Structure 1
Amino acid sequence: MIFVGEPWDFLGAGEAVDFEHPAIQALSSRFPDGDLAYAQAAFDFVRDEITHSMDASDPRVPWRASDVLEQGTGLCYAKSILYVALLRLAGIPSGFCYQRLSNGEGGFVLHGLVAVQVGEDRWVRLDPRGDRPGLRTWFSAEEDIPAYRVDPAAGEVDYPEVYAQPPEKVLRALKEAEDCASLCSGGLPSELP
């Protein structure tokens, strides 16, 4: 992994990672003590209780962690933002990772997931995107568990960078989206700069 930011940046708040919001603080108090137990409970909550907008046919496109929690939905990027906010509130270093995946129509889309520090020098990539038929994710402190396995022969890429904050390209797409359908039909970034 290549970390884009200083070590302390992976614990900080930001425009989208607004973990000081009272609703996020209240939610975090429901999770157990201990970094791994907390990280798993937060993962399970985001994966299972926050719907993926496209899977749920929900037109809303929240981008700030508190909005994702309030609306109960979000794309992979937004669900990752909420998960990172919950982790950082508990003092667990975390960041944003991306994959370039085929969209099945000859193009590509950027998929967001999360890197989490699970030991003194150990990071894993986890995907709180949410399950659906044929797609299952889970928490692991031992290995990366992305929802999608990339196919390099098809031009897909697992980007090695871990960002302290979501890249501007991703936030801009979320902020400017009229609705989820229009964003997913051409407004999503297809790769990182």
Structure 2
Amino acid sequence: MTVDKFLAEDLYVDFSHPLIQKKAGELFSDETSDREKALTAYLFVRDEIPHSFDIGADIITAKASDVLHHKTGICHAKANLLAALLRSQNIPAGFCFQHLTLADDDTLGYCVHCFNAVFLEDHWIKLDARGNTKGICAQFSLEKPKLAFQNLGGYDEYFWPGIFASPHPETMRMLEKASSIQDIIDNIPDTLTETPDISE
């Protein structure tokens, strides 16, 4: 299996940006194992970068460096930051997607939720750095994923299969245009048409 795509830099996973490099230098040392680096990066993004909805942020971010600079982002943006930190350490990181209700029920429709896949100890693990609040309890796990959201029965919630090397293009375009949280609520995509880079 080639993981080159999962180590690459792009517009949104901009790990050569000075802010990302500086934070990586603060979080990691050469003696730190990949497992320790992944845990440290995950806890930093999950706990120190609040989800934009949770704090009513007035700044909308998409690029990893912007998420770090403004210290906020929605799940997709936070996943970009986690991927950037890990790829800066040559740890393969990708993206996974879930079809979820935007509210506690389907009154606001559905959205594409994003979390990460990370290649550690010869297998892919799933990590959701959305941020724990209001009963959400995502955790670092090398075995069974402990994600932010379980699919609710009675609603059209499910996981899209596979691991993607790049952020969701349509959501990135939406974030670039959005100027408020309401813009995100009104315009966040609820479909995924891309083909995964790794099938599951």
Q: TM-score of the superposition, structure 1-length normalised?
A: 0.92
User: What residue is the counterpart of 1:158 in the other structure?
Assistant: 159
Where do 1:135-174 residues align within 5 Å? 135-151=136-152, 153-174=154-175
**Aligned residue type for 2:33:** G
Counterpart contact for 2:96–2:163, Cα < 8 Å:
yes
Residue 183 (structure 1) shift: 1.0
Find the counterpart in structure 1 of residue 197 from structure 2: none
Q: Which secondary structure state, in structure 2, belongs to the residue aligned with residue 54 of structure 1?
A: helix
How far apart, CA to CA, are the structure 1 residues paired with 2:176 and 2:183? Answer: 13
CA offset at residue 161 of structure 1? 2.3
Q: 1:54, 1:181 within 8 Å by CA — same for their partners in 2?
A: no
Check if 1:35 corresponds to 2:37. Answer: no
What's the secondary structure of 1:83's corresponding residue? Answer: helix
Residue type at the aligned position of 2:112: L
Is the 1:116–1:125 Cα contact (8 Å) retained in structure 2?
Answer: yes
Say if 2:137 and 2:147, in contact at 8 Å, map to a contact too. Answer: no
CA RMSD of aligned residues (A): 1.5
Distance 1:76 1:113 in 2: 7
Aligned residues: percent identity? 35
Where do 5+ consecutive residues of structure 1 fail to align? none
Alignment correspondent of 1:19: 15
TM-score (norm: length of structure 2)? 0.89
1:114 aligns with 2:113: no
Aligned length in residues:
187
In the TM superposition, residue 153 of structure 1 has moved relative to its aligned partner by: 4.3
Aligned pairs (5 A) from 1:1-193:
7-32=3-28, 33-103=32-102, 104=105, 105=107, 107-120=109-122, 122-151=123-152, 153-184=154-185, 186-193=186-193
Measured after TM superposition, the shift of residue 107 of structure 1 is 1.8
Higher relative contact order (CA 8 A, sep 6+): 1
Q: Structure 1, residues 108-147: CA drift from partner, whole Å, max 9, x if none?
A: 1111100011122x11111000011211111111221210
CA distance in 2, matches of 1:172, 1:94: 21
SS of 1:86's equivalent in the other structure is helix
Runs of 4 or more consecutive aligned structure 1 residues displaced over 3 Å after TM superposition: none
Match of 2:198 in 1: none
Letter in 2 for 1:67: D
